[in-house]
Structure 1
Amino acid sequence: MSSVYESTITPGHFRVAGKEFPNIKWWNRKNLRNTYLLLTLAILTSATNGYDGSMVNGLLSLDQFIDYMHHPSGSIKGLFSGIMSLGSFVALPVIPYIADGMGRRWGICIGSIIMILAVVLQSASVNFQMFVAARFFLGLGVAIAHGSAPLLITELCHPQHRAIFTTVYNTTWYVGSIVAAWLTYGTNNIDSQWSWRIPSIVQAAPSILQITCVWFVPESPRWYISKGQNEKALSVLAHVHAEGDANDEVVQLEYEEIRETIAIEKEAEQTGWLEIFKTKGNRHRFIILVSAGFFSQWSGNGLVSYYITGVLDTIGITDSDMQLKINGVLNIWNCIVATTMCFFVDKVGRRPLFLISTAGMCMSFVIWTILSERFAATQVKANGSAVVFMIFLYYTFYNIAWSGLLVGYTVEILPYSIRAKAMCYMFACVDLALFFNTYINPIALDSIAWKYYIVYCVWLAFELVVVYFFYIETKNTPLEEIARHFDGDAALVGGNAATEKGRIIEHEIHEKEKTAAVTEERVGSI
């Protein structure tokens, strides 16, 4: 499905407010280079999530942990992971009020503090109940930081780099995953409780980096404007995007477009939780948010992300050392593919990447299922080895789109006025899917083994249909102007790229300001 608003651009250029400008080299600009470096360290929330998934995989492969937790059943294993998703879900209602009320940086900081405290509790656990409680609070902190970090990236990055940087954000999941996978592989040789306590302690590292670095990163200029602090917003835009030159044409166009668009959105009073259901364009956005949240976790990836031990057990690979090696190598491969694809988001486009990714997952998962059935029937090792290859192929397709674009695409399609709240709908779907997966997957694998994969084969075919009909292209479009892809002429866009509706509302705002000024002048003269 193509968008109503088509956006083409000259190669080697980016667009702001209807004008094209030559691409810049960020590494040659001191302020932009320093901001991106600090921002990279300040947005490691996704790495904490990735670390957790891989750590749980690793811990469930450690005999020391299994013994300490008294050989947990499939349902208990599910609770270890699922309770974190429940904690994230509980936090969702307060996230927009922190991100919109206190600022994007405070959201990251508060979430990181909660995560650090939860890691302390988890690492010091003396029983199953204490471990589970710690993971609930870990999910709470992750959700708060995760609800602010992508907003800060999207709203702070230079227009030329926004797509790449926001896509890279979610791929840091694999950075955390790699560290946890190989750390648990190394601590497997420690014959004591430290074999699982050390990986748990290290989980605090991303949060410590976030708290340390986030205050050196400027606040979102869009947040400043929403709070009436226009001079601060202009200063941030100038500092980050033009080496401090507030008169730079790109900065001036950005500033005017952002300021007028946010004013128009406020005038239209489109800020509530139910706003996502009120217009055709917003309902389209809602379908994408909900589907992306569920599809990112219900595509079969949850089987491997948290329960690779169960998957490998079904194909005869039961040695914990080999399971940990496969988990570690898989995460390195995933990181390479996912990070590489971030640089093709604007070149290839969001929609083609989603279609290729989903179709490839469906194909590889069907073959994966057939090979698993063949191994169960024949016990031929070659079939088991082929399943491992298909797992790598499946993840190659998954990482083409679903790894990075889950956040990168969903955050950019939302207008500022509902961005923080609407993202919570997507995160809620992720949490619900994760809770289901982490609790149901181990039970299903224990009960029906490879037959459970058939469910995902059917679901992946359904995903492909939804992506084809509802996911539209947004490449090469400035953040404020993406609204035109969904709302057409009804989009609320200010600046040089304003729509007719935007100009009408903007005119009304100016008339009100004139009337207020005249009234104030008359009162002052009396």
Structure 2
Amino acid sequence: MAGTYVQGETVSTVDTSFKKGYFRVAGKSFENVSWLKLPKLRSTYFLLFFVILTSATNGYDGSMVNGLLSLEQFKEYMHNPSGSIKGLFSGIMFLGSLVALPITPYIADGLGRRWGICIGSTIMILAVVLQSASVNFQMFIAARFFLGFGVAIAHGAAPLLITELCHPQHRAIFTTIYNTTWYIGSIIAAWLTYGTNRVPNEWSWRIPSIVQALPSILQITCVWFIPESPRWYVSRGQPEKALSVLAHVHAEGDANNEVVQLEYEEIKETLAIEKEAEQTGWLELFKTRGNRHRLLILVSAGLFSQWSGNGLVSYYITGVLDSIGITDPDMQLKINGCLNIWNCVVATTMCFFVEKFGRRPLFLISTGGMMVSFVIWTICSERFNATKVEANGSAVVFMIFVYYGFYNAAWSGLLVGYTVEILPFSIRAKGMCYMFAFVDIALFFNTYVNPIALDHIGWKYYIVYCAWLAFELVFVYFFYIETRNTPLEEICKHFDGDAALFGGSNATEKGRILQNEIHEKEHKAATHEVREENVSS
């Protein structure tokens, strides 16, 4: 497919066709490589698994809260919290994330992607210690605020490192997998709380809380064995280290490899152009048409990923199941555990079809499917409320699984995979903060409002999401564009057209002009330096 869209208009012609068995760099096609047969690439990807555990930590937390609210031991210890307190248990974590977001890009850009992961993980471990030792709900809530603070910092660095380090052939799959590991943590928490439900004391909830520290401990231990982002090295004036990392990861140490050289030149020249244009501030996303388009996608993706009805089940499945007559804690925990396994299987499977089907088709299928299944879910809930027929309640459970099948077709993995790739390096960390900010705003609202709304109006609350999903489908149709089979530095062409600031052999006309100006300045500076040396000698 050729062509791209900015608010409905074709602005440039970019080849996004998918040629099986090949990947593209700087306008050239290269045969695919097998990462299993390349020792250095294989070891890097193995270590990157520990980077994606940031998302798993988040998933563990959501499922753990769900599980704890089903445990009689926890509810009794916390004096049977009301709907608003239940909302605060989950919502305060997202408030903590919001507070941390303004400093997150400065850590990731200033200290490096690895330090961002390490600092965030350290804060999370300390928060888990406080949470596990809680003696009242005030202490539990305070711990969860700091947990959210740490998650935001780690989240602000981890996907950047993955995106900027992966081989061009595997970038889309790996960055999409990042967010789907949410379900790995979720599965562990769901079944762990199911098991500890049989512990007849407060350890039934303290044990799951303690285990929450494990992913962060693994990250701190392993992150220093992973190379730093080559793009970050270039931005800090260390191009030799960047070339060394690219050669190590993408060509088994061969710095003269053509793919490595093309990548290196693209990265070096594109970052120089971005620096020359001084496009690094928080307001940069408001200044150009292409950046405003990016901002619309970032904001909408953050909101849609959480305001699509999924928040009802992710954090308050107990309330949903109570409303259809499934009140047994043991059965609720089983459903929660099975749902998370289903989610993990579907979300992970779809990661391997991102380049084959494309981002835009997956978003449209996912959103349309969610809308239809949620409408049926709502109808079945109303029928159960009116008739109390058990079959209608079972139909709701079935539709929850169908709904999540569609949700995981795109919104689980591509929430991070798509948003991180559409941002130029100079505003990548800050742009992701905008997206995560709206995720946290949506989650804070949902986790605080959902239990209250479910308590007061029950199934009628679902109608709001039916209407909202229809709006989402229209928005995605008009604003989400295809970036399939496009190297990371070249994706700016889809949004900025001929105005894209992109260097290398495949640069746009504007990119070449700025590139030449930079080279002229460097030449003049070098000439002036030589003259001064001659005079002094």
Amino-acid identity (%): 80
Does the CA contact (< 8 Å) of 1:42 and 1:209 recur in 2?
A: no
| Deviation (angstroms), 1:230 | 0.4
Q: Which whole-Å CA distance do the structure 2 matches of 1:79 and 1:326 have between them?
A: 24
| Deviation (angstroms), 1:525 | 1.6
Q: 2:138 aligns with which of 118, 126, 129?
A: 129
Q: Name the counterpart of 1:475.
A: 484
Does the CA contact (< 8 Å) of 1:164 and 1:345 recur in 2?
A: yes
| Deviation (angstroms), 1:521 | 1.5
Q: 1:109 aligns with which of 118, 121, 131?
A: 118
Q: Which whole-Å CA distance do the structure 1 matches of 2:379 and 2:472 have between them?
A: 20
After superposition, the C-alpha distances for 1:330-366 in whole angstroms (9 at most, x for unaligned) are 0000000000000000000000000000000000000
Q: 2:159 aligns with which of 141, 150, 153?
A: 150
Q: Which whole-Å CA distance do the structure 2 matches of 1:10 and 1:400 have between them?
A: 23
Equivalent position amino acid for 2:193 in 1: T
Equivalent position amino acid for 1:198 in 2: I
After superposition, the C-alpha distances for 1:181-210 in whole angstroms (9 at most, x for unaligned) are 000000000000000000000000110111
After superposition, the C-alpha distances for 1:47-81 in whole angstroms (9 at most, x for unaligned) are 01100000000000000000000000000000000
Q: 1:38 aligns with which of 24, 47, 59?
A: 47
Equivalent position amino acid for 1:405 in 2: L
After superposition, the C-alpha distances for 1:467-518 in whole angstroms (9 at most, x for unaligned) are 0000000000000000000001110111111000000000000111111112
Residue 5 (1) aligns with residue 7 (2): no
After superposition, the C-alpha distances for 1:231-289 in whole angstroms (9 at most, x for unaligned) are 00000000000000000000000000000000000001100000001100000000000
Q: Name the counterpart of 1:176.
A: 185
Q: 1:487 aligns with which of 485, 496, 504?
A: 496
After superposition, the C-alpha distances for 1:339-396 in whole angstroms (9 at most, x for unaligned) are 0000000000000000000000000000000000000000000000000000000000
Q: Which whole-Å CA distance do the structure 1 matches of 2:441 and 2:4 have between them?
A: 30
Q: Which whole-Å CA distance do the structure 1 matches of 2:133 and 2:458 have between them?
A: 34
Matches within 5 A, 1:340-489: 340-489=349-498
After superposition, the C-alpha distances for 1:90-120 in whole angstroms (9 at most, x for unaligned) are 0000001000000000000000000000000
Q: Would the alpha carbon gap of residues 339 and 88 (structure 1) be closer, same or farther in structure 2, given more than 3 Å must change?
A: same
Q: RMSD of the alignment, in Å?
A: 0.7
SS across alignment from 2:24: strand
| Deviation (angstroms), 1:524 | 1.5
Residue 64 (1) aligns with residue 73 (2): yes
Does the CA contact (< 8 Å) of 2:306 and 2:442 recur in 1?
A: yes
Residue 248 (1) aligns with residue 245 (2): no
Q: 2:517 aligns with which of 483, 508, 516?
A: 508
Q: Which whole-Å CA distance do the structure 1 matches of 2:299 and 2:137 have between them?
A: 33
Q: Name the counterpart of 1:210.
A: 219
Does the CA contact (< 8 Å) of 2:52 and 2:179 recur in 1?
A: no
Does the CA contact (< 8 Å) of 1:69 and 1:128 recur in 2?
A: yes
Equivalent position amino acid for 1:6 in 2: V
Q: Which whole-Å CA distance do the structure 1 matches of 2:336 and 2:229 have between them?
A: 37
Q: Name the counterpart of 1:279.
A: 288
Does the CA contact (< 8 Å) of 2:18 and 2:356 recur in 1?
A: no
Residue 303 (1) aligns with residue 312 (2): yes
Does the CA contact (< 8 Å) of 2:18 and 2:484 recur in 1?
A: no
Q: Name the counterpart of 2:247.
A: 238
| Deviation (angstroms), 1:10 | 2.4
Equivalent position amino acid for 1:255 in 2: Y
SS across alignment from 1:21: strand
Q: Which whole-Å CA distance do the structure 1 matches of 2:137 and 2:193 have between them?
A: 19
Residue 25 (1) aligns with residue 51 (2): no
Does the CA contact (< 8 Å) of 1:302 and 1:437 recur in 2?
A: yes
Q: Which whole-Å CA distance do the structure 2 matches of 1:76 and 1:337 have between them?
A: 33
| Deviation (angstroms), 1:43 | 2.5
Q: Which whole-Å CA distance do the structure 1 matches of 2:226 and 2:13 have between them?
A: 34
Does the CA contact (< 8 Å) of 1:375 and 1:384 recur in 2?
A: yes
Q: Name the counterpart of 1:92.
A: 101
Q: Which whole-Å CA distance do the structure 1 matches of 2:179 and 2:200 have between them?
A: 35
Residue 258 (1) aligns with residue 248 (2): no
Q: Which whole-Å CA distance do the structure 2 matches of 1:66 and 1:10 have between them?
A: 56
Q: Name the counterpart of 2:129.
A: 120
| Deviation (angstroms), 1:9 | 4.2
Q: Which whole-Å CA distance do the structure 2 matches of 1:262 and 1:190 have between them?
A: 56
Does the CA contact (< 8 Å) of 1:9 and 1:15 recur in 2?
A: no
| Deviation (angstroms), 1:2 | 3.9
TM normalised by structure 1 equals 0.99
Q: Name the counterpart of 2:150.
A: 141
Q: Which whole-Å CA distance do the structure 1 matches of 2:345 and 2:376 have between them?
A: 24
Q: Which whole-Å CA distance do the structure 2 matches of 1:187 and 1:408 have between them?
A: 35
Structure 1 residue runs without a partner (length 5+) = none
Moved over 6 A (4+): none
Does the CA contact (< 8 Å) of 1:43 and 1:210 recur in 2?
A: no
| Deviation (angstroms), 1:427 | 0.5
Q: Which whole-Å CA distance do the structure 2 matches of 1:435 and 1:196 have between them?
A: 23
| Deviation (angstroms), 1:6 | 2.6
Q: Which whole-Å CA distance do the structure 2 matches of 1:43 and 1:339 have between them?
A: 13
Equivalent position amino acid for 1:17 in 2: A
Greater Cα shift, 4-13 or 467-476 = 4-13
